[in-house]
Amino acid sequence: MDQVATLQLESVDLQSSRNNREHHTQEMGVKRLTVRRGQLFYLQLSFSRPFQSQSDHITFVAETGPKPSELLGTRATFFLTRVRPGNVWSASDFTIDSNSLHVSLFTPANAVIGHYILKIEISQGQGHSVTYPLGTFILLFNPWSPEDDVYLPSEILLQEYVMQDYGFVYNGHERFITSWPWNYGQFEEDIIDICFEILNKSLHYLKNPAKDCSQRNDVVYVCRVVSAMINSNDDNGVLQGNWSEDYSEGVSPLEWNGSVAILRQWSARGGQPVKYGQCWVFASVMCTVMRCLGVPTRVVSNFRSAHNVDRNLTIDTYYDQNAEMLSTQKRDKIWNFHVWNECWMIRKDLPPGYNGWQVLDPTPQQTSSGLFCCGPASVKAIKEGDVHLAYDTPFVYAEVNADEVIWLLRDGQAQEILAHNTSSIGKEISTKMVGSDQHQSITSSYKYPEGSPEERAVFMKASRKMLGPQRASSPFLDLLESGGLRDEPAQLQLHLARIPEWGQDLQLLLRIRRVPDSTHPQGPIGLVVRFCAQALLHGGGTRKPLWRHTVRVNLDFGKETQWPLLLPYSNYRSKLTDEKLIRVSGIAEVEETGRSMLVLKDISLEPPHLSIEVSERAEVGKALRVHVTLTNTLMVALSSCTMVLEGSGLVNGQITKDLGTLVAGHTLQIQLDLYPTKAGPRQLQVLISSNEVKEIKGYKDIFVTAAGAP
């Protein structure tokens, strides 16, 4: 019998176009094979002669990481079989067509994610084997697979939290939430490589590359690594934080439109941290990375978010008798808003019942296991006060549940509790509504209704676990416990008389109503109300007073009075931060008793509004005329105006234009052509910044049809 010719591999078709489409990765392009674990993909191998399954032996080898090892799970060898053997690496369901072999490959749903090299070893009988490279592929988490720890059983939610490449960040104040559009851009061609570059620059990888790669099958591990690597506090992470308001050596956090420019700059400069980020930038970039890797992720804003360093579940703030909010040496603070991520996963490291959304916070606030990272903390554990569960649950619990105690200081000493607020922290916790541009409150996922028996019971449960048998020491704890909630002889409220716009005088209305109390059940009282306005910083602190005013009122029992207040534009014009927030504080002293009452009003000033219009139907490859209009409604000119346009599938990178000066009352009209590159729903983000107002942001949702579509 003639010797059968040696089987030689002549060509390989990785069928990237078909596989990427079936694995929901076609948005990343079809030049490279990019697949998700726990799902079949298909190859076609062409040989020098027909494959003979009785005598030809093929072994597949898949390897990832610097020192691939079967023991570590970074190397797999598997044979050609007729039937797929379960949740293991396999090559099965093959068919022979002349000299071609069609084969289905399967990766287990707990495989290590990463860049893989795929090879085959061919041997005949007992003869020596020859190794052929088949090519490379990228393996990602698979939220479509019921066997994967990130499985999300809803196509609508998968489209929103994995496939959607744009969204919104919610900011401002809980009573006037504003939205900033954001370009996540996780499917831009080079972003997947930058995501793995981030993992490969982590301290874990630098310390032990082989071990780090072997742990990339675990979504909890990968999330913690990414959380640490988005900030640069311990490592060459992506972003350098800056809360100083001096951004002269980089870009103001307010002036970013999306993640793509940040990630590309970090990679192009060899891993040098990009300047600068704050919470919404950190969280939005992490959302890009996690969605790109295949983990369902969303961006969440918590309004009035506590940073409770000493873990006593109390944040103290201080005012003097002139109503000026005072700075403090304590590191505790209340952010106007704070932004973090939620990632969807099964928590096999926790007892049953804590799967689903998990908080991850890449903003460097405090260390966790020695690194500046936070989470994953189960949202369910936070709601139930199970603060003993990993990771960093006590810190996140305090962010949404701490109490605020407001003190009156006289001569540097805490004299009086002006307020003990059990419900002023953790307001309007918000994320983008699925399939909509609106925001959705998810506060009820984090806590029971404020003041309800369940909420107070959970608070006491968490307090006992966090404070221990010995109550955490606070210099004013005894005074706090003895102060109680006293009744007041009057009710004070501050209202805005009209919508506050930057560049306009602010009109407020003070309402005072005389009510019975234990000290003065009847009769008139005299009040001296001292007002102070200060620029409110993002971290909850304030600048020096920019306006003061005093009102004297005599109030008969049962009566109500109104008092107009005017805060001129000239007082705040050059005194605010880029966020344009003002805190107006009033302390009313009761002349008969010397006791004090506090009234507060935070004001968020509206910037001018952008208008964006497109004149015709958008189609891939065809010119799309865009009209951008901005009217300067302010009393001053906007100088050194620049415009930045961004939007995955619409703009390659960014388009930047210098616009010069926009005189008060005048309108700027800009026309330009875009050439869309991807079909489907897209979002164009537009930012106009000037010396006077850093962020005038707008967006336009655009549906792009495929080239030549009817």
Dist. CA 208–CA 429, nearest whole Å: 39
Instruction: Give phi and psi for 222, each to the nearest 5.
Output: -60, -40
Dist. CA 33–CA 104, nearest whole Å: 14
User: Is 255 assigned to a binding site?
Assistant: no
The answer to whether 332 is a known catalytic residue is no
**221-to-252, 373, 394, 581 alpha-carbon distances in Å:** 31, 12, 19, 38
User: Is 404 assigned to a binding site?
Assistant: no
Q: Which of 123, 58, 67, 119 is nearest to 94 (CA)?
A: 58
Chain centroid offset of residue 518 CA: 48
H or E segment and range at residue 373: none
Q: Helix, strand, or coil here: 31?
A: coil
The answer to whether 320 is a known catalytic residue is no
Who's near 197: CB < 8 A, 6+ residues apart? 267, 271
**200-to-66, 226, 262, 267, 587 alpha-carbon distances in Å:** 10, 10, 18, 12, 55
Tell me: cis bond preceding 319? Omega within 30 of 0 counts.
Answer: no
User: Is 695 assigned to a binding site?
Assistant: no
487, two tokens? 């009744």
> With helix as H, strand as E and coil as C, how does 477-541 read?
HHHHHHHCCCCCCEEEEEEECCCCECCCCEEEEEEEEECCCCCCCCCCEEEEEEEEEEEECCCCC
User: Is 165 assigned to a binding site?
Assistant: no
Give the CB-side neighbour count of residue 607, counting CA atoms within 13 A: 24
Choice among 23, 204, 338, 549 that is catalytic: 338
The answer to whether 279 is a known catalytic residue is yes
Q: Helix, strand, or coil here: 193?
A: helix
How would you classify the pairing of strands 427-432 and 114-124? unpaired
Dist. CA 276–CA 262, nearest whole Å: 9
Residue type at 339 in one-letter notation: V
Dist. CA 281–CA 231, nearest whole Å: 10
Who's near 221: CB < 8 A, 6+ residues apart? 215
Choice among 195, 213, 223, 279 that is catalytic: 279
Dist. CA 346–CA 505, nearest whole Å: 53
* 254 within 8 A of 696, measured Cβ to Cβ: no
Give the CB-side neighbour count of residue 306, counting CA atoms within 13 A: 29
Dist. CA 42–CA 58, nearest whole Å: 16
Choice among 148, 212, 361, 602 that is catalytic: 361
End-to-end CA distance of the chain: 62
Dist. CA 361–CA 175, nearest whole Å: 24
How would you classify the pairing of strands 581-590 and 525-536? antiparallel
Question: Cα-atom radius of gyration of the chain, to the nearest Å?
Answer: 30
383 Rama class: left (phi>0) / alpha (psi -120 to 50) / beta:
alpha
Dist. CA 287–CA 265, nearest whole Å: 17
Q: Would you call 592 exposed, middle or buried from its count of C-beta atoms within 10 A (0-12, 13-18, 19+)?
A: middle
Instruction: Give phi and psi for 263, each to the nearest 5.
Output: -65, -40
Q: Which residues are catalytic?
A: 279, 338, 361
List, as residue ranges, the binding site for Ca(2+): 401, 403, 450, 455
List, as residue ranges, the binding site: 401, 403, 450, 455
